Structure 1
């Protein structure tokens, strides 16, 4: 079916910085809160693989937050996803938070950097610059960001952590003279403008509790007081029009709803799920049932189970103490129920995990002993190649994903059947990732449904098949 081009008004802006820890997340949250409080509808996007920042975006007032990752999703995937979720209209703002530095990425040509994504989307950029230790030379940093390829359309600068008004004025004059872009804000040094962090970056919204909302409100008030909010809002609509594809209408036919019932561990310990992954399962006909790994004593009636990532180590006492749920999951796997697990889910399925010197017995499904390291055991993009055909992937199929785990399999008992050869990254063993046991697949890979488009249909189809076979067995037994 041919797609239509949409020429509607699409207000968009990327917030980026020359490097990490410059304050772009704080500025993004502050702008989201202030703009939504003023009556705008705000949709957030996060460049790169990230679960935590999008949850903060939603708390700040965004209608939703979606990831855009050129390396995993490719240009077509990014454009299709932005086309699907971007808000249209004169009171609709699409705010994209970059990751790392504006020009940081894997590819030497920068095509997968924040600048590369901004170029794809024809999105103007608001550059957040750490002003603490700089003088007029800060203009050289901004100029370098302007001149390096791919060229980013920097429309404004916000100075962060300015020590004195004199310093801020000197920097403003230098940037506006040499870089020809306006300085739209100078935010003073304020230790209260720090979002709480943990060993994997920002704390989750659930962990931060009431402090999360207070931190966002404080940042919003400070940014609104020290930035030209009207000028920043105007930048959203300063970009040239970009024709985006409307999603094709669903083909007429049998409704997909009700094909299978898939359980999803979702609580403070298991909170890493791309909204697109859950949406893709629903789109293929799955009814999702959310399960609390610490409170629910057994699985409900299900046809499949999805165990995502998160911080199981932070709640391992409660998780390990819930023996009846561990047993219920193990029995489900033994019955042939399809189960897809990634990172935290893999840990849950292991024989045991040692955290702070204490071993905890877990579900005992996988022949793994897990320990936690002081430094990341696997961190960054992960490229995998399927070793053979399985219920989940075809032989030689390539998967682009990401991993970020301090946990490590310190013992692998027996000879597990591996799904993937690790082309880039660490995986479970350094050479392999993805343990197969019947209809179970567990790995350290975090996949994105847009980057791995066949995953959702495979998962739902396996679950639907399990459902029909279970009913058949029940009928036969009766």
Structure 2
């Protein structure tokens, strides 16, 4: 089966692989190619930009967040009708969750049998680049380093030495050499690139990157590498095998998707639909109460940057509190959890939130939780069975403070990660489950069905 695919990797974070990947996506799209982007690892912001660059939403792939068979099945399903599938790696090429490099970008490339193109920041470096390339190629077995793209080169003399060094000491082709940008086309901040909702010149920036790729990268050679990817990639079953559609009338699950909360894996929403729900998007900034819903999913995002506007919408804050008090099933992750609290402290100011939970959150200058998570469910809740294992990730600069919840029950006892309270997460009250942990539906196949079941029960109870 012909399945053109490549993985773009870097030596570490900040080497420019996202800029290169965005440029390639836009350049191939401009050539009339159907491009399907993928993002390795837990990530929402880069994935959003990849979707904008390619014209198709990005799908996340990660060996930690989902079993390999489901990962391969998802990759095949989402990329099969594309001319080229482009996967952006994360962190350094061989960096995983342990000394063995488990769940690294290199491991992902092996799982999906994809050639790797390595992006290297060549600032203040010449001949050493050949040693890096040679070392990366030989470091692990079963790994196909098919080419390199050299980033932040200083001029023609610098580029000539870099190319000659790599060609002299290795057999890895140089596919492109990018100059230093005077100004970053896409600004960055503590969580990586800024979101497109906070940046006005989205198309201009992506067009700039597309022209850069067109001018500085051998696109024909890149496509030939993708088209020559190893055959034999297959999956034993569908990615959605464990998600069983419910019978009966569809419950409506509201998804808050606006400028404040938009961190969602598209597969999570698809899983809810496959489990029998109707999805309805709602907003914290609506000027009237929402249409009738039977469940509510509050994803992550940046509620702190719009905290003033959120706090001023008293109508929706009170509406959410009314829904929660009525027993509506609510699943809230990170930013959504912050919104359920009493208030958010940001840059010295206190902003009222919905007040569903009697606690506050405070934004801190450094990360308060970062990386993969895992734990065991120790309290009953509508979404995960007692005793089940839950894997996910967290990345938050806020801290849960002044928790006045009466006898708070944390459903998730974490053996990896920080959560809300020293290794505990998933605060449960009634039909509410809220915390810092993000899950991927294909790594927690019970979640979608249980969410839909809880919403359906709420719907029936309201009609009784």
Q: TM-score, normalised by structure 1?
A: 0.93
The 5 Å alignment of 1:157-168 reads: 157-168=148-159
SS at match of 1:135: coil
CA contact 1:350–1:369 (8 Å) conserved in 2? yes
SS at match of 1:122: coil
Q: Is the partner of 2:359 in helix, strand or coil?
A: strand
* Pairing partner for 2:423 from 427, 431, 451: 431
SS at match of 2:373: strand
2:194 match = 203
Question: Which residue of the partner structure matches residue 18 of structure 1?
Answer: 11
Give how far 1:242 is off: 2.5
Contact (CA 8 Å) 2:381, 2:433: kept in 1 or not? Answer: no
Runs (4+) of structure 1 exceeding 6 A deviation are: 248-251
Distance 1:381 1:178, change over 3 A: same
Once the two structures are superposed, the pairs formed by residues 366-381 of structure 1 within 5 Å of their partners are 366-381=357-372
Gaps of 5+ in 2: none
Pair 258,148 (structure 1): closer, same or farther in 2 beyond 3 Å: farther
1:248 and 1:180 mapped to 2: Cα distance?
37
> In 1, Cα distance between the equivalents of 2:153 and 2:389?
47
For structure 1, the 5+ residue unaligned runs are 1-7, 473-478
Q: Which of residues 436, 441, 449 in structure 1 aligns to 2:433? A: 441
Structure 1 residues 374, 255: CA separation in 2 closer, same or farther (over 3 Å shift)?
closer
Aligned match for 2:60, one of 55, 67, 76: 67
Partner residue, 1:144 = 135
CA contact (8 A) 1:44 1:62 kept: no
Give 1:247 shift. Answer: 3.1
Distance 1:139 1:422, change over 3 A: same
Shift of 1:193: 4.6
CA root-mean-square deviation: 1.9
Distance 2:8 2:75 in 1: 16
How far did residue 132 of structure 1 move? 1.6
Question: Residue 193 of structure 1 contacts residue 218 of structure 1 at CA under 8 Å; is this kept in 2?
Answer: no
Partner residue, 2:73: 80
Matched residues in 2 for 1:33 and 1:193: separation?
17
Say whether 1:386 aligns with 2:377: yes
Instruction: Report the CA distance shift for 1:188/1:369 in structure 2 as closer, same or farther (over 3 A).
Output: same
- What is the aligned partner in structure 2 of residue 360 from structure 1? 351
Match of 2:223 among 225, 233, 236: 233
| Pair 107,78 (structure 1): closer, same or farther in 2 beyond 3 Å | farther
Measured in 1, the distance between the counterparts of 2:379 and 2:332 equals 19
Is 1:222 the counterpart of 2:209 in the alignment? Answer: no
Contact 1:18 1:145 in 2 (8 A): no
The corresponding residue for 1:278 is 269
Quote the residue 2:327 is aligned against: 336
* Larger CA deviation: 455-464 vs 77-86: 77-86
Post-superposition offset of 1:257: 8.0
Indicate whether 1:123 and 2:118 are aligned. no
Structure 1 position 194, deviation (Å): 3.9
Q: Report Cα offsets for 1:2-37 as digits up to 9, x if no partner.
A: xxxxxx311100011111111110110110001011
CA contact 1:43–1:95 (8 Å) conserved in 2: yes
Counterparts of 1:32-43 in structure 2 under 5 Å?
32-43=25-36
- Deviation of residue 248 (structure 1)? 8.5
For 2:142 and 2:205, the matched residues in 1 are separated by 34
Distance in 2 of aligned mates of 1:19 and 1:254: 41
> Could you list the per-position Cα deviations for residues 168-218 of structure 1 after superposition, in whole angstroms to 9, with x for gaps in the alignment?
111112112222111111111122454211232111111112x12111111
Report the CA distance between 1:289 and its aligned residue. Answer: 1.2
State the TM-score, normalizing by the size of structure 2.
Answer: 0.96
1:418 lines up with 2:405 in the alignment: no
The aligned counterpart of 1:3 is none
